Structure 1
Amino acid sequence: MLNAAETRCDALIVLADVDHVIHVPLPNFTFQRSIDLQGILKSFLRKALVERTGQIERWDRGTWESFLSPLWKCVVEPVMDALAFSTPGDLSRIFWCPTGPFVFLPIHAAGLYDTKYSAPGHKVFDFVVSSYVPTLSILAPSRNIYVAHNDDFRLLAVRQPPTDGRRLSRLPGVHTELKHIKEVITNSGSACATFLEPSVGTVEEVLGLMNEADWVHFACHGIQDAKNPIDSGLCLANERRLKISDIIGLSRSRGGLAFLSACQTATGDEGLSDEAIHIAAGMLFAGYAGVIGTMWSISDTLAPIVARDMYEHLFRNGTRPDYREAAWALHEAIGRVRESGEVSFNEWVPFIHVGL
């Protein structure tokens, strides 16, 4: 748990096999610094395109280096030291539970990115596979139950419908994205999928299909409602919105993965940052065990690649996929695109895993 207060900043570490909380003071990080970093990021996002179009305004590498460096030096590195994580590549799983202004900061990308630090050991993903949780109750043993069903695995995929261009931009990449998913699932021979046509899909229809499916994949626009966060949601056909309030009301069995390949699905509301109300958290509260979300608008060309690589990992054995591997699959997929050198920080940083 990361906490930034006006008097001090701290990390609290809870380990499964330790009966006490490990307190890690963060003396070199202040509440004001967290606010400043949050403001810098929000300023960038306001200047960037609101919708996911693949034409996102870019920070240069130097700006990202100066932004992510203090998160590593002052926040993440002390936590890694307290956990005695000293061997790059020997990956452990970590669940970040940020509070206050930490909610808006990409802790999972913290590191030193200057070329002189190119050797492993200076970035958070060298040591851990990161997930976020809105509350510690998500980690309760009663929630971390995996049931291997004998019936067929079902995935529901919903893509962005055609738009008239007046309110929402076109997302040509979603066709490729769902094509990749269909190919992976077909080749696996271990699952079946429902691909909802963009011309249909009322809120009621989608909710009904979500109840029947084990996993869901939304390739569409996401809308954050700052005034009433529970009205945030995913855009369906004819500008219908699948709201957080609709999702939380699902009466589905616990477990499964929700892949939200959409704009702003994991951005909290500034006025309610400690509650971390966002679309990804709504999926957790509805009963999904894990969620792939994005902190801001993502590239319409990169999203299909990340989705393809993730599903290839999850379906690689030709057996029923396990949602508990989703964080590892995302870690590997983003690692490949990052190491290719063909994508910017703006494009890979927003992808996150939330939940178990």
Structure 2
Amino acid sequence: MGRGEAFIEYFVGQNDIYVFVITHRDFEVLAFDKDFPLEQWVVGLRDAVGQFQFSSSNRDSLCQVYNQLGYGLYQKLMAPLEALGLPEHLTIVPSGVLGFLPFDALLTAPPPAGCNFSGYSYLVQRYDISYGYSATLQAALLGRPTANLDFAGFAPAFQSGPFPELQYNASLLEAVKSITGGALFLGPDATAEKLRAAAAQYGLFHFATHAEANTEEGDFSFIVFSNGQGGYDSLFVKDIYLLPLQAEMAVLSACETSVGTVYQGEGIISLARAFLYAGANSVITTLWPINDAANEALMKSFYAYLKKGHTKSEALRLAKLQQIGQGGRLNAHPAYWAAFEPIGNMRAVYPKSWWLLAVGLGGGVFLLGILMFRRMGKKAG
């Protein structure tokens, strides 16, 4: 555990909540009464936030639910920990239903009247938060070597059938490729077979597609690919476990990729967890269906910050803060940014030395051009 970092693991019992807080110099155990309907509050907050972007008639009521539960859950789950003096970088291992909670969106102060979400005080403004499924898995992920950084993006086309069209998924990946380089598998080329063939060849994956969570049987959650013939093919959790991944990061910008069945002591059986076990060092995943346009904007910012040398969680946090700062009264709402959660090894994909070198080389070329221009001007004179 490095300086400026804390590892926080929750355990939810029948009547109590226990929290283990580990920093580079301290180990604390906190216990407090579960004197509130935890599951009802967590599910209520997640639903109120996730539904806001697709609702126009009951936004005021959804706002009020979020206001109450966002601040209430902060007071119950985070305020007692802050009395310890938490560092900026937090790795949270949730327990049970807490796996469905977007900690970033908790409210650190009572929200002002009027549902002006750009003026809210969010936990993401205080902390850089990432997640783990267990201390054992987190330790294993931190011990894995860095994978190659070749990028592969998958974006099936949805023009008919049971899944709605994703208007921006191909353009998003084209924008990402302009930042990272790599290969794109678009439309009919975005097949599960192409993924199986690419699994061991690429180190950065982005899936801009549909997914469906099975909350009764997490192993039956699936992510959607093209079948290459105008139809669709589903890759289930059990199939993902068999992929020979050697990936530094997999981004799952699809609906509800972090949702699945809760098994006490094991975390959530989900698509995200399957990618980690298949060989991904980290996963960026989602807690609820995402607005297609908001997804594109946030992901473009995320990759831009990633390329500058920020860690994965820092890059995602900066993209979220940018959305809050620029979103205005309504689009700063957490529905448009808090669904994304970073899980696993958060080390930087592109070292900051690379970014500084690129900037330095660019500046050097610019200065060299000025000197040559001046010299040519003197000769002409």
After TM superposition, the score normalised by the length of structure 2 is 0.76
Shift of 1:155: 0.6
1:64 aligns with 2:61: no
Map of 2:256 onto structure 1: 264
Map of 1:88 onto structure 2: none
Write the deviation string for residues 229-272 of structure 1: whole angstroms up to 9, x where unpaired: 1121210012201222122112233x501111110011132566
Map of 1:325 onto structure 2: 311
Map of 2:343 onto structure 1: 354
1:299 aligns with 2:299: no
Q: 1:93 aligns with which of 85, 89, 94?
A: 89
Q: What are the within-5 Å matches in structure 2 for residues 1-356 of structure 1?
A: 1-18=9-26, 21-27=27-33, 29-30=34-35, 32-41=36-45, 44=48, 48=51, 55=54, 59-60=59-60, 61-82=63-84, 84-85=85-86, 92-111=88-107, 112=109, 114-115=111-112, 123-140=122-139, 143-147=142-146, 153-164=149-160, 166-185=161-180, 192-237=181-226, 238-253=231-246, 255-270=247-262, 274-316=266-308, 325-342=311-328, 343=331, 344-356=333-345
Change (3 A) 1:202 1:313: same
Q: Is the 8 A contact 2:19 2:31 kept in 1?
A: yes
Measured on the aligned residues, the alpha-carbon RMSD in Å equals 2.9
* Separation in 1, partners of 2:143, 2:265: 25
Map of 1:189 onto structure 2: none
Indicate the SS of the match to 2:208: strand
* Separation in 2, partners of 1:75, 1:81: 12
Change (3 A) 1:195 1:119: closer
* Separation in 2, partners of 1:45, 1:115: 17
Change (3 A) 1:280 1:56: farther
Change (3 A) 1:148 1:162: closer
Indicate the SS of the match to 2:269: coil
Write the deviation string for residues 193-246 of structure 1: whole angstroms up to 9, x where unpaired: 110031134323212212211110000101112343112121001220122212
Change (3 A) 1:44 1:210: same
Write the deviation string for residues 16-75 of structure 1: whole angstroms up to 9, x where unpaired: 444xx4111233x43x521221342466589x49xxxx7456744332211210121111
* Separation in 1, partners of 2:96, 2:122: 23
Q: Is the 8 A contact 2:111 2:121 kept in 1?
A: no
Indicate the SS of the match to 1:79: helix
* Separation in 1, partners of 2:118, 2:304: 28
Q: Is the 8 A contact 2:179 2:304 kept in 1?
A: yes
Indicate the SS of the match to 1:205: helix
* More contact order relative to length (CA 8 Å, sep ≥ 6): 1
Q: Is the 8 A contact 2:207 2:251 kept in 1?
A: yes
Change (3 A) 1:201 1:171: closer
Q: Is the 8 A contact 2:152 2:182 kept in 1?
A: yes
Gaps of 5+ in 1: 86-90, 186-191, 318-323
Q: Which amino acid aligns with 1:241?
A: S
Shift of 1:273: 8.2
Q: Which amino acid aligns with 1:103?
A: G
Rg larger for: 2
* Separation in 2, partners of 1:271, 1:45: 24
Q: Is the 8 A contact 1:264 1:296 kept in 2?
A: yes
Q: Is the 8 A contact 1:26 1:75 kept in 2?
A: no
Q: Is the 8 A contact 2:192 2:235 kept in 1?
A: yes
Shift of 1:347: 1.8
